[in-house]
A and B are shown apart, each in its own frame.
Chain A
């Protein structure tokens, strides 16, 4: 039982990821305001980025920059020792692309919201659906 509790609490990063994912999904499904839906989409995206960065994390490691990379002194560590001392940078690099793609989809979504507001004079979903039904 104690092992189970420590296993659950020890993975608190993944629980935070799950909570943020559900908050974003709930906002995308049940909020009526289109801007709130877009905020929910952004929260969903950053939750997934949190998951990938959590995968690359190592306990007791340092940031993925080599010290003395170009220095005159010889490196006394083997490659395996160097790799064990730094966090895995591969998920970080993939998530850089994800952040930039995320902000571009955000920009397109907000532009479409402004266009919808100009045509229908509202951004509440139910009012838009009523106005579509009328005409």
Chain B
């Protein structure tokens, strides 16, 4: 039960780096469906970050609501509108 998370700062650093990379990539791609999927990956990395920062209840909610529902909402919207974005 006594899990010393202070040993895991490399893991923390790697997840933060992946979160920032996914945030930039989700805004860079021109295809909106690619953006939606990359944003789902962003939410998943956020979920890993919450677990690693000892906030397990936030991690559950983020996995269900952030990575699940909001990805479905983005995909549904991207299928109903023009797929290509100009920027």
Q: Which chain A residues have a beta carbon within 8 Å of chain B's beta carbons?
A: 12-13, 16, 19-20, 23-24, 27, 31-33, 35-36, 39-40, 42-43, 46, 49-50, 53-54, 56-65, 67, 85-87, 89, 92-93, 95-96, 99-100, 103, 106-107, 110, 113-114, 117, 122-124
Q: Within the complex, which residue of A39, A58, A93 is in contact with B27, where a contact is CB–CB below 8 Å?
A: A39
20 A-B pairs besides A39-B35, A49-B58, A87-B53 with CB distance below 8 A are: A19-B20, A20-B20, A23-B24, A31-B87, A32-B86, A32-B87, A36-B27, A46-B66, A50-B46, A53-B53, A53-B55, A57-B53, A59-B5, A60-B5, A60-B6, A61-B5, A64-B54, A96-B61, A107-B73, A110-B73
Residues of A within 8 Å of B42, CB to CB, are 43
B74 and A35 form a contact (CB under 8 A): yes
Interface string of B64-87 (1 = CB under 8 A from A): 011001100110111011100111
B66 and A63 form a contact (CB under 8 A): no
Could you count the A-B residue pairs with CB atoms below 8 Å apart for me: how many are there?
129
Q: Is the interface of A mostly helix, strand, loop or mixed?
A: helix
A20 and B69 form a contact (CB under 8 A): no
Q: What's the Cα separation between A20 and B46 when bound, in Å?
A: 12
Q: What's the Cα separation between A54 and B13 when bound, in Å?
A: 13
Residues of B within 8 Å of A67, CB to CB, are 1
A99 and B62 form a contact (CB under 8 A): yes
A23 and B73 form a contact (CB under 8 A): no
Q: What's the Cα separation between A124 and B30 when bound, in Å?
A: 13
| B80 → A minimal CB distance (Å) | 5
